[in-house]
Chain A
Amino acid sequence: MVKIPTKVLIVDDEKDFVEMLSLRLSEVGEKVAPAYSGQEGLETLEKTSIDVVILDIKMPGMDGIETLREIKKQYPLVEVILLTGHGSTETAVEGMKLGAFDYLMKPADFDDLSAKLEGARKRKDEQEERIRKAEASLLVRRSGGSF
């Protein structure tokens, strides 16, 4: 079976981390875009189609929660997985209330991360599928059901 790559955006101010995680995810067949700040992440989203964002909570400037709000406002279908470095589960929970798919503690286990990526991707696909069906039935109704 040919794997359909998930389009992943990694947003973290730790450049080395972004670089290595990108290499690793690319190696297992995902399509990865890096960003080193919340602002840069949003710019990337504007230009590139993304399925899942892996987002660090603690960043200078625009932090993860702010970035998450903006992502969910502009791209409600894009799924977000939060990364937390200092074990503040409270912030992670706040993030999930704002619509994040899940969160992971740094350093994260790669198998965990892969599983969550897949879950997020699946949720997005299903949501898009539902939207497609709804649009189709809307179209049918508008045209009076006669094609």
Chain B
Amino acid sequence: MNNIRLLLVDDEDDFRRTIAKRLGKRGIAPEEAGNGEECLAILEKHPMDVVILDVKMPGMDGIETLHHIKEKYPKTEVIMLTGHATTRDGVDGIKKGAFDYLSKPIELEHLLGKIKQAHEKIRREEEKLREAEFRARMEQQLTTTERLASLGTLAAGVAHEINNPLAIIKESAGFMKLILGKEEFADMPRRKDFELALGKIEKGIDRAKRITLQLLGFARKDDSVLAEVNLIELADEAIQLVDREAVNREIEIIREMAHDKVTIWSDPYKLRQVLINLITNSIHATGSGGKITIILEGMGEEVTLTVKDTGQGIPKENLKRIFEPFFSTKSPGKGTGLGLFVTRNIIEKLGGTIKVESRIGQGSSFSVKLPKYCEIKESLAQDERVDFLDKIASHNGSKPQ
């Protein structure tokens, strides 16, 4: 509530000052305006969240001022103040877009309640708008992802169709070269010319081969997908996938979820991978009879997923190194030393962070902090492959020259 930008408009100076002072004591000191014109002048320079607006004012009255406010600043919410027994004005105001009205004399608690509601409404609207924008962007990204996937299939097909005949040409040229090198051909007329031509064929094959390889490399990249992810479902899914191993080792996996539905926008497959990696690590570090707790907290801009175990813990000297590639304390052949390295890379790509706390003999806890709206760092819009696709698409329509 403290960061509400509030403007109080009333022509009765005493009344206005009193209310402003009392609001100030509650931590939301408003700007003040003595009439409609002044109110609009202030709004021009300082955008406001909520305007408390007296209906009856000389000059531009409340209803007219409201009209201007709603036209120019549709996001600003207005609470009308009407005189006693003139609720009609208030109803008019609501019809013209005011959030609500209060009749004078007003009770401060009542006013505070209304301000709070108006502010809540603004916050909800903003959230809705943001989600709609994100959805629109996602849809566009999805189309691009689909186009890229089809490019991958096409490239693989083309490469295959070209590589096979190339292999035939290569074997044939190689075979001829082999024959030419035989003793019986030592005196063959114009042997040098044949060798020259065969050399050119081989060079050509290598060039074509490089191109098909490039085409393949260009078409396949590790693309991220963004979707609405229900973290609770995701956690359940991950647990299910590793449950057998946990049961075998008599380890109990517990969920501690603060809410019944937590959704974020992120990459579900990569996140599942992260969870599986962390839980599997915990299982390996925890002896029979141990416990693994998966905790989900936070609802605002960030959520935190924690995987906590009652395992052996990580020695201090290793804590700094566990995210390094190829660092492993498992016996050779058992661990690659890449699990946590990959995990951290994924999380960072999704705009999050990972933290570890551990105590020898008591267990470890890995906390993953993720943004509610993930902005994938490499934007598909800047992807060189999109240009390529667009070029192909535009060529479809042009006529050969």
Residues of chain A at the chain B interface (Cβ within 8 Å): 14, 16-17, 20-21, 23-24, 27-28, 58, 85-88, 105-108, 110
Contacts and interface: CB of A to CB of B under 8 A. Distances in A.
A65 B175 CA distance: 29
Interface stretch (B27-35, B124-132, B161-169): B161-169
B179 interface: yes
27 contacts: A14-B164, A16-B168, A17-B164, A20-B175, A21-B171, A23-B175, A24-B178, A27-B178, A27-B179, A58-B160, A85-B159, A85-B163, A85-B164, A86-B156, A86-B159, A86-B160, A86-B163, A87-B156, A87-B163, A88-B156, A106-B167, A107-B166, A107-B169, A107-B170, A107-B209, A110-B170, A110-B174
Given A86-B156, A86-B159, A87-B159, A20 B168 contact: yes
A73 B371 CA distance: 50
B160 to A, nearest CB: 4
B172 interface: yes
Contacts of A105: 163, 213
Most B CB contacts (10 A, CB to CB) among A16, A23, A24 go to A24
Contact of A107 (B157, B175, B205, B216): B205
The B interface, classified by DSSP as helix, strand, loop or mixed, is helix
B167 A17 contact: yes
Given A86-B159, A87-B156, A87-B216, 13 more contacts: A17-B167, A17-B168, A24-B175, A28-B178, A58-B160, A85-B164, A86-B156, A87-B163, A87-B212, A106-B166, A107-B167, A107-B209, A110-B174
Contact of B172 (A20, A27, A58, A88): A20
B167 A108 contact: yes
Interface in B245-289: none
Nearest to A83: B167
Contacts of A17: 164, 167-168, 171
Contacts of A110: 170-171, 174
A27 B205 CA distance: 22
Contacts of A23: 171, 175
A14 B213 contact: no
Interface in B132-178: 156-157, 159-160, 163-164, 166-172, 174-175, 178
A120 to B, nearest CB: 19
B170 A86 contact: no
A17 B171 CA distance: 7
B149 to A, nearest CB: 15
A14 to B, nearest CB: 5
Contact of B216 (A21, A86, A106, A108): A86
A123 to B, nearest CB: 20
B171 A24 contact: yes
Contact of B164 (A21, A27, A106): A106
Contacts of A14: 164, 167-168
Nearest to A90: B220
A107 B163 contact: yes
A88 B170 CA distance: 21
Interface string B219-251: 000000000000000000000000000000000
A17 B205 CA distance: 15
Contacts of A107: 163, 166-167, 169-171, 205, 209
Contacts of A106: 163-164, 166-167
